[in-house]
């Protein structure tokens, strides 16, 4: 008959005392070679062969930079069609897209005032070609055109 006896270590897993000896030995990260990439020189052959992306520094991250989401003219046109189905045919439609960049993929069939944080050159041409207008927002603020007008009035 097989005796199903659990290993002693099983009951200690996750506890303070298992596998480290005296608790003072497990206090810092010294035993495992530091936090993160610590001890890299001891693992250099492995890193160069298996994980070369961990060696060296590449580029930088600009502080405070906000990434814009993108929306295509195809998606914009689809939204315009939905608005027309709801009954907004006669009036001039105004679409506000804060935090978005409008890209030129697709085409736009109706004329509309599109307010967005950025436009690609072709998207701007296509919207204005369909009889619409483009207004550029500064991220988190009023449209740039309005800000320019206010500056001229003050100065």
Would you give the end-to-end CA distance of the chain in angstroms? 97
> Are residues 97 and 32 part of one domain?
no
Q: Is residue 64 part of a domain?
A: no
pLDDT tens string 70-81? 999 999 999 888
> Are residues 73 and 135 part of one domain?
yes
**Average of per-residue pLDDT across 8-13:** 76
> Are residues 112 and 82 part of one domain?
yes
> Are residues 49 and 77 part of one domain?
no
143: DSSP letter: B
> Are residues 134 and 75 part of one domain?
yes
Question: How many independent structural domains does the chain possess?
Answer: 2
Q: What is the pTM of this model?
A: 0.51
Interior CA angle at 53 toward 50 and 54, to 5°? Answer: 90
Q: Which domain holds residue 31?
A: 9-54
Q: Is residue 63 part of a domain?
A: no
pLDDT tens string 114-145? 999 999 999 999 999 988 999 998 655 555 55
Q: Is residue 61 part of a domain?
A: no
116: DSSP letter: E
Q: Is residue 4 part of a domain?
A: no
**Buried residues in 90-119 as b, exposed as e (16+ CB within 10 A):** eeebebebeebbbbbeeebebebebbbbbb
Domain harbouring 79, CATH code: 3.100.10.10
Q: Is residue 85 part of a domain?
A: yes
> Are residues 50 and 80 part of one domain?
no
> Are residues 26 and 99 part of one domain?
no
> Are residues 146 and 85 part of one domain?
yes
Three-state SS at 29: coil
Say what the pLDDT of residue 55 is: 81
Q: Is residue 27 part of a domain?
A: yes
> What angle do helix axes 73-86 and 121-129 make, rounded to 10 degrees?
30
């Amino acid at each position: 008959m097989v005796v199903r006896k659990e290993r002693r270590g099983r009951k200690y897993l996750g506890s303070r005392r298992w596998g480290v000896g005296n608790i003072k030995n497990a206090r810092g990260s010294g035993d495992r070679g530091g936090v993160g990439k610590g001890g890299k020189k001891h693992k250099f052959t492995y890193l160069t062969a298996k994980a070369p992306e961990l060696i060296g520094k590449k580029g930088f991250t600009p502080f405070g930079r906000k990434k814009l989401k993108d929306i295509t003219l195809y998606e914009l046109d689809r939204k315009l069609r939905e608005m027309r189905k709801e009954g907004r045919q006669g009036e001039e439609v105004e679409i506000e897209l804060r935090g978005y960049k409008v890209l030129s993929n697709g085409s736009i069939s109706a004329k509309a005032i599109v307010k967005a944080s950025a436009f690609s050159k072709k998207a701007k041409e296509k919207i204005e070609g369909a009889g619409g207008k483009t207004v550029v927002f500064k991220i988190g603020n009023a449209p740039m055109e309005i800000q320019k007008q206010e500056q001229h009035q003050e100065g």
